[in-house]
Chain A
Amino acid sequence: SYELIQPPSVSVSPGQTASVTCSGDNLGDKYVCWYQQKPGQPPVLLLYQDNERPSGIPARFSGSNSGNTATLTISGTQAMDEADYYCQTWDTITGVFGTGTKVTVL
């Protein structure tokens, strides 16, 4: 079955840039979306179709997807960005979530 692998954790200093990767076979041929989840809350859609932001999502969140890797970039990271982040794609009509990355703002 198709798998999406993310690093378990990423640390970043406030104001710096954080990058979260998501790896899967030929992932660049598929659309990727990203979700942010804070403790005790449901996930929130951050990006869809690789790099589109829903209304209300700050511009500091951006994405790219090429080859076997999709990347979520958080520019000018803020303390409020500390959360778990998940990538997600579709393998034909099967939904696949990434393993998740905990972003810590030190």
Chain B
Amino acid sequence: QLQLQESGPGLVKPSETLSLTCTVSGDSISVNTYHWGWIRQTPGRGLEWIGSVHYTGTTYYKSSLKSRLTMSADTSKNQFSLRLTSLTAADTAVFYCARQSGSYLVSESYFDYWGQGILVTVSS
């Protein structure tokens, strides 16, 4: 059974950088038809796709976050990661990692497995 587990700090200071890792077990991230995504959720904004990464290193990000966001995949550890800089209170959210499955074509893909989520609070 595929499992995804987010890890990282629960509290980050404003202006600092958030680094989150998603560890995947039960399947390899190195499958061509899988991408791996990050989604966050706040009470006021619902679910928000942040970006996705393919094991080959291909990434695509939400345009409004692109200048602050970096994603990567580590096939040796079967993990993928997110790095978000210059945090503000507006970045406070539950962050989910998820498998994006269905096709190598992004337009045909969907998030079929999700981690439990990690609450990240941005506060001094």
Contact = CB atoms under 8 A, between A and B. Distances in A.
Interface stretch (B8-16, B20-28, B77-85, B110-118): B110-118
Contacts of B110: 31, 33, 45, 48-49, 88
A54 interface: yes
A31 B64 CA distance: 23
A42 B115 contact: yes
Contacts of A30: 107
Contacts of B39: 95, 97
B111 A94 contact: no
Contacts of B111: 33, 35, 43, 45, 88
16 contacts: A1-B64, A30-B107, A33-B111, A42-B96, A42-B116, A42-B117, A43-B47, A88-B110, A90-B109, A92-B107, A93-B60, A94-B49, A95-B62, A99-B46, A100-B46, A100-B47
